[in-house]
Structure 1
Amino acid sequence: MTTPPTTPAAAPGATRRLTTAQALIAFLARQYTERDGRRHRLINATWGIFGHGNVAGIGQALVEAGPAMPYLQGRSEQAMVHAAVGYARQSGRLRAQAVTTSIGPGATNLVTGAALATVNHLPVLLLPGDTFATRPADPVLQQLEVPHAGDVSVNDCLRPVSRYFDRVTRPEALIPAALQAMRTLTDPAEAGAVTLALPQDVQAEAYDWPAEFFATRVWNVRRPAPDPYELEQAVRAVRTARRPLIVAGGGVHHSGAEETLAAFAAATRIPVASTQAGKGSLRHDHPADVGGIGSTGTATADDLAREADLVIGIGTRYTDFTTASSTLFADPAVRFLNLNITGFDAHKLAALPLVGDARTAIEALCEALGALGHRVDLAYESAYTEAKERWERRVDAAFAAGDPEARPTQAQVLGLLDELVTEDDILINAAGSLPGDLHKLWRARSAQQYHVEYGYSCMGYEIPAALGVQLAAPGRPVWALVGDGTYLMNPTEIVTAVQEGLPVKLVILQNHGYASIGGLSESVGAERFGTAYRGRTEQGEFTGAPLPVDLAANAASLGMDVLRAGSVGELRRALAEARGADRPTCVYVETETADTVSGPPPAQAWWDVPVAETATRPSAVEARKEYDRQFAARRRHL
């Protein structure tokens, strides 16, 4: 919790002469959020890489601001956004960070991170430099000329991935732009990437700013209550359902509604499945928790989904992984009740909408149903409880380490972590085969432990996000879990972790290629083409020996302490040592494939990846037959 400093009332007509960049940084330093009576500083730091487009503007302003606006030095523009997003997610969207870059490639490198932030409804403020507003010379260094539009720059590619975009072409235009930016960042229905493109000449231009622009502002993060009519309809739907199922999405976490959901589930005994973003909404040992749902879900949750007559979505976007590409909710009479803070998501799947804050709306539902003494049938509760116990035995089998001298499987790596961590630990992942294994197998012990970015599933997110999470949660063990493919995408912020003394724990699972897409490729008849990290044979195919790369040596060269683990026993010791380390530490392990030893259970539901309709190779012909069989089960919920 942060207490904002008091700001003396400005005299009428008082002004401060500052550059545009200095004014923006001074403004950002006095913005706060408030929810449930607790205040937090909104923009806690600014990440930056400097070039000619921002060094004399935002860069100089940060020098002048000193400790009033902490500066974090990044190595990759995309990674800086990922770090800021990790910080915002760990902070419950009540705190955020800014990211500044130069013009040209520095600005366009923001696009992937911005898309990730907006997809996941996580606030980040982007401050890319832009070409001269006054156009003293066209083109300037790194300027893209657009022959049919003189007012377009590369920064315009940030428009479709930003929740709010503005180009500040005059100093005084910063005032409405900055206020709109803060409104968007703090609105729970609008949060995402916000871009203020800043022409480099305007950044350095001085202006007499009204003193009230720099007054302390507190932005209330609202908790809108549901409409009474919608609430009445929702209560009626729940009361008449025989096999209801809750699907908890990321909105549960964004609202801080975990305890409220736990109380609601305990009172009604309605089972709770979770999306990737919603996992951890209930502890794994809550009686109503049935695990992940959808294409990477548990058998328990997916079987319940197939038979559910009412699906209660709370804060979910219903992606294709959650719905198993519209094949999962199979009851002919199934209905949907969607509790969401955005009307756009609340109306999906032709649902009864319940628009409002997740915690507030669950409380209203709980009060209404509690007064009616509502609870699911005991036979339904007993059935899913027994199914959950059966699934837990399958998890135990996948996690079982066995021979301490053997090379571990990926599932066994997770099992060893499962033995080690407490509710304080935070696990971060985003792409590859790990999200599927984690969603099916991981036993979340706290609301913040499971940090898997699967809205955009962006390779390279994990390491920089771990920095942001560690900054937001000092003292807690933070683990970034990556495969070799993801590591090679974006390891540069290891240097930043070393520079800042952030004791993140990096686990590199070396499987010599894109394991997830390799498996998918095989299943759709593409024969794992182009997915292994291997040398070429004389025939030109990538089926030679594994590439002689040494990712552990690479991590060490960037400043990490590295622990190599060649067996289950060595890995157990290395993970324990890394957890206790007080500086950035990497655990490197080569994993065994699940083809030779017990691996995780297979997918419990389908995912639609279209297969070639015509082909000569037998693998694709057979894959198309299976695709047609699964496709026939798709339906539109109208």
Structure 2
Amino acid sequence: MNTVRLTVAQALVRFLDNQYLEVDGQEIKFVKGIFGIFGHGNVVGLGQALEENSGSLEIHQGRNEQGMTHAAVGFAKQSLRQQIFACTSSIGPGAANMITAAATATANCIPVLLLPGDTYATRQPDPVLQQIEQSNNLSISTNDAFKAVSRYWDRITRPEQLMSACISAMRVLTDPAQTGAVTLALPQDVQGEAYDYPDYFFQRRVYRLERQEPTQAMLAQAVELIKSKSNPMIICGGGLKYSQAAESLKQFAKAFQIPFAETQAGKGTVESSYELNVGGIGETGCLAANILAKKADLIIGVGTRYTDFTTSSKWLFQNPDVSFLNININRFDAFKLDGVQMVADAKATLDALYPLVKAQNYHAQWGDEIADVRRKYEDERKRLYQIEFNEKDFVPEIDDHLPREKVYAEFKALTDSVLTQTRALGIVNRLLPENGIIVGASGSLPGDLQRIWNAPTAGSYHVEYGYSCMGYEVNASLGVKMAQPDHEVFTMVGDGSFMMLHSELVSSIQEHLKINVIVFDNMANGCINNLEMEHGMDSFYTEFRFRGERKDRLDGGLVPVDYAKVAEGYGCKTYRVATAEQLEAAIKDALTQDRSTLIDVKVLPKTMVHKYFSWWRVGVAQVSEKESIQKTAEWVNEKLSQARQY
């Protein structure tokens, strides 16, 4: 046996540089590179290994550990999970910063490899700088916090452990059913320890993304179920997108005249204009999909986790005879809602089902209803995209008990804005170039985007909503641009989320990777402001206001922020927008730029999209002095009585 004497860090780099994924006969280099922020816990270990010989791995400098990991997640998601970045940080706060992004990856089933530095395995210098000491267990470090948000977690305390840990890491990262964040904690001293590694550890490894076929028993059961139903509906989840099953879906739906709706992860798999695409479904669903969902007697869930937003807290499907057929590579998800389980690849399953259902001369009985609801949906989208503010008698889409005349006067005085959020979205949608990709994640924008955004082409819609992580948007956009550098990337982000994290906007400037950030500024966490007021509360710490006379409230004036000036300081081309004409001009000019841009759009509060025939369960106080909250509790209990219990 031949051996190679290397440090643990050097061996890890060499191993990562030789991993490949085979997808439908094509080999793809699986680990494209490493994002890194270096500190004492990793710079002279993994940093030294990368400086000496990084092979063909790309090295990118992050600005914030969470931000760079979001970029890695965005890259892997846009790459359909076929290529990844690893992320390395120092010990302590640097490692802890990656935990939120690790959770985002795991919640969305997106592969990302995390390589945080760790405290000394020998414990000789303990407590080392940035170490948290637990007197009851000296083996615990910050990195133990990754266990709850990782699909696989390991700590390398001896050089020879690296080999089995790396193989296990690749097993999980390349598994379409179980992928997510993988954490390999690297003690600072162990990174530099030498070991005689067998040379076969560094051989070229190719992992095949196998398309698991459905069994004959699964197919027979599915065909019998479909035959027994007259009004089936398909829900397209992210698994359908990652399986690259768009054409199979269209063939299946068209042959049997079955409408299909989209989750956030599934939207953009098929263009919105397709005749059987009835749009987003659930709590943030659109008019068309939610009308049909209430009548459907069969839900065919393809690659969906059936989150509470997709099912409206298991309330949406009101047909008393509704059944569920679950096509999912993940056995855990296939068992949800007591559905018939088809644990298999989405594309392989739709292709196998197609001739069997066709042989039954089956057709759904929706008749003209699909076309009718699509027409209503298009009319509603046009209406929303054209809403203009008028000074007198203006009724916003979200019409709650906020003293809107006062708020609008205050907002307009600060910003000169008369622009509604839905009008702004319509302008962006109309001007999005053919190669445009939008990125979103949190606040009211994902709801608006799922309800009314027209995804013109496959792959043009990138919204993270499995974790709905504020701060994902700008940073993930960098990863999306890295995955598809020839495309224009547009970040759709609220002011609250932008303030929470936008660190890799600087990295986009550094790397000459242009992204276009559109900040929708309504001076509030508007989505949650809507939620609290819908449930009987007043506006409580969700608007961005100065501290006023009351000590227990922020009841002063609105806090204005110049986001364009912030981005200008980073080196972006920036624009300030308060009218439709200014927004249109800004987008057109941004498309001519060769550096990252930021458009600071002031949008009137409460002008996002309202919900359509949906309900979302949130915890409500069962005891309150306020009559409005008492009524809300009664309303929630009534809706809950109509929902499935599991």
Secondary structure of 1:159 counterpart? helix
The answer to whether structure 1 residue 553 and structure 2 residue 536 are counterparts is: no
- Who is 1:605 aligned against? 614
- Who is 2:473 aligned against? 462
The answer to whether structure 1 residue 71 and structure 2 residue 59 are counterparts is: yes
| Runs of at least 5 residues in structure 2 that lack an aligned partner in the other structure | 391-415
Which deviations, in whole Å up to 9, do the C-alpha atoms of 1:460-508 show, x marking residues without a partner?
A: 0001100000000011010111111001000211111110111100001
Q: Within 2, Cα distance between the matches of 1:381 and 1:425?
A: 35
- Who is 2:280 aligned against? 292
Q: Within 1, Cα distance between the matches of 2:206 and 2:105?
A: 23
Which deviations, in whole Å up to 9, do the C-alpha atoms of 1:223-254 show, x marking residues without a partner?
A: 10012101110111112211101011010111
Q: CA deviation at 1:423?
A: 4.1
Which deviations, in whole Å up to 9, do the C-alpha atoms of 1:107-155 show, x marking residues without a partner?
A: 1111111111011110000000111111112211111112222222111
Secondary structure of 2:620 counterpart? coil
Which deviations, in whole Å up to 9, do the C-alpha atoms of 1:282-312 show, x marking residues without a partner?
A: 2111111001110111122112111111110
- Who is 1:514 aligned against? 525
- Who is 2:395 aligned against? none
Give the 5 Å matches for 1:610-629: 610-629=619-638
- Who is 1:57 aligned against? 45
Q: Within 1, Cα distance between the matches of 2:312 and 2:16?
A: 43
What residue identity is the alignment partner of 1:491?
Answer: H
Secondary structure of 2:584 counterpart? helix
Q: Is the 8 A contact 1:464 1:493 kept in 2?
A: yes
- Who is 1:414 aligned against? 425
The answer to whether structure 1 residue 384 and structure 2 residue 370 are counterparts is: yes
Secondary structure of 1:615 counterpart? coil
Q: CA deviation at 1:89?
A: 0.6
- Who is 1:583 aligned against? 595
- Who is 2:3 aligned against? 15
- Who is 2:235 aligned against? 247
Which deviations, in whole Å up to 9, do the C-alpha atoms of 1:186-213 show, x marking residues without a partner?
A: 1111110001111111100111111111
Which deviations, in whole Å up to 9, do the C-alpha atoms of 1:174-197 show, x marking residues without a partner?
A: 011101111110111111000111
Q: Is the 8 A contact 2:260 2:276 kept in 1?
A: yes
Q: Within 2, Cα distance between the matches of 1:31 and 1:261?
A: 31
Change in CA separation of 1:359 and 1:273 when aligned onto 2, cut-off 3 Å:
same
What residue identity is the alignment partner of 2:201?
Answer: F
What residue identity is the alignment partner of 1:577?
Answer: D
Give the 5 Å matches for 1:70-109: 70-109=58-97
| Alignment partner of 1:201 out of 180, 189, 194 | 189
Q: Is the 8 A contact 1:430 1:452 kept in 2?
A: yes
Give the 5 Å matches for 1:496-507: 496-507=507-518
Q: Within 2, Cα distance between the matches of 1:281 and 1:48?
A: 32
Q: CA deviation at 1:419?
A: 0.9
Q: Is the 8 A contact 2:524 2:543 kept in 1?
A: yes
Q: Is the 8 A contact 1:401 1:568 kept in 2?
A: no
What residue identity is the alignment partner of 2:528?
Answer: I
- Who is 1:142 aligned against? 130
| Alignment partner of 2:550 out of 532, 539, 553 | 539
Secondary structure of 2:206 counterpart? strand
The answer to whether structure 1 residue 484 and structure 2 residue 470 are counterparts is: no
Secondary structure of 1:68 counterpart? coil
Q: Within 2, Cα distance between the matches of 1:154 and 1:406?
A: 46
Cα RMSD for the two superposed structures: 1.5
Which deviations, in whole Å up to 9, do the C-alpha atoms of 1:329-366 show, x marking residues without a partner?
A: 11112110000001110011111000101110110111
Q: Within 1, Cα distance between the matches of 2:571 and 2:363?
A: 56
- The count of residues paired between Structure 1 and Structure 2 equals 620
Q: Within 2, Cα distance between the matches of 1:610 and 1:197?
A: 37
Secondary structure of 1:61 counterpart? helix
- Greater displacement, 338-347 / 63-72: 63-72
Q: Within 2, Cα distance between the matches of 1:18 and 1:318?
A: 47
Secondary structure of 2:148 counterpart? coil
The answer to whether structure 1 residue 364 and structure 2 residue 374 are counterparts is: no
Q: Within 1, Cα distance between the matches of 2:532 and 2:27?
A: 49
Q: CA deviation at 1:594?
A: 4.0
Give the 5 Å matches for 1:116-265: 116-265=104-253
The answer to whether structure 1 residue 431 and structure 2 residue 430 are counterparts is: no
Secondary structure of 1:160 counterpart? helix
Taking structure 1 as the reference length, the TM-score comes to 0.95
Q: Within 2, Cα distance between the matches of 1:302 and 1:436?
A: 14
Q: CA deviation at 1:274?
A: 0.8
Q: Within 2, Cα distance between the matches of 1:118 and 1:248?
A: 20
What percentage of aligned pairs have identical amino acids?
A: 44
Q: Within 2, Cα distance between the matches of 1:369 and 1:530?
A: 54
- Who is 1:9 aligned against? none
Q: Within 1, Cα distance between the matches of 2:567 and 2:417?
A: 24
Q: Within 1, Cα distance between the matches of 2:73 and 2:210?
A: 21
Q: Within 2, Cα distance between the matches of 1:381 and 1:577?
A: 46
Give the 5 Å matches for 1:622-637: 622-636=631-645
- Greater displacement, 413-422 / 93-102: 413-422
Secondary structure of 2:129 counterpart? coil
Taking structure 2 as the reference length, the TM-score comes to 0.94
Q: Within 1, Cα distance between the matches of 2:4 and 2:644?
A: 62
Q: Within 1, Cα distance between the matches of 2:222 and 2:239?
A: 18
What residue identity is the alignment partner of 2:385?
Answer: F
Secondary structure of 1:381 counterpart? coil
Secondary structure of 1:25 counterpart? helix
- Greater displacement, 582-591 / 396-405: 396-405
Q: CA deviation at 1:402?
A: 5.3
Q: Is the 8 A contact 2:230 2:297 kept in 1?
A: yes
Q: Is the 8 A contact 1:494 1:559 kept in 2?
A: no
Q: Within 1, Cα distance between the matches of 2:176 and 2:145?
A: 24
What residue identity is the alignment partner of 2:190?
Answer: V
Q: Is the 8 A contact 1:527 1:619 kept in 2?
A: no
The answer to whether structure 1 residue 266 and structure 2 residue 249 are counterparts is: no
Give the 5 Å matches for 1:29-40: 29-40=17-28
Q: CA deviation at 1:520?
A: 0.4
- Who is 1:450 aligned against? 461
Which deviations, in whole Å up to 9, do the C-alpha atoms of 1:402-458 show, x marking residues without a partner?
A: 589972211111100111124421110000000111110011122211111000000
- Greater displacement, 405-414 / 457-466: 405-414
- Greater displacement, 341-350 / 419-428: 419-428
Give the 5 Å matches for 1:327-406: 327-377=315-365, 380-400=366-386
| Runs of at least 5 residues in structure 1 that lack an aligned partner in the other structure | 1-12
What residue identity is the alignment partner of 1:635?
Answer: R
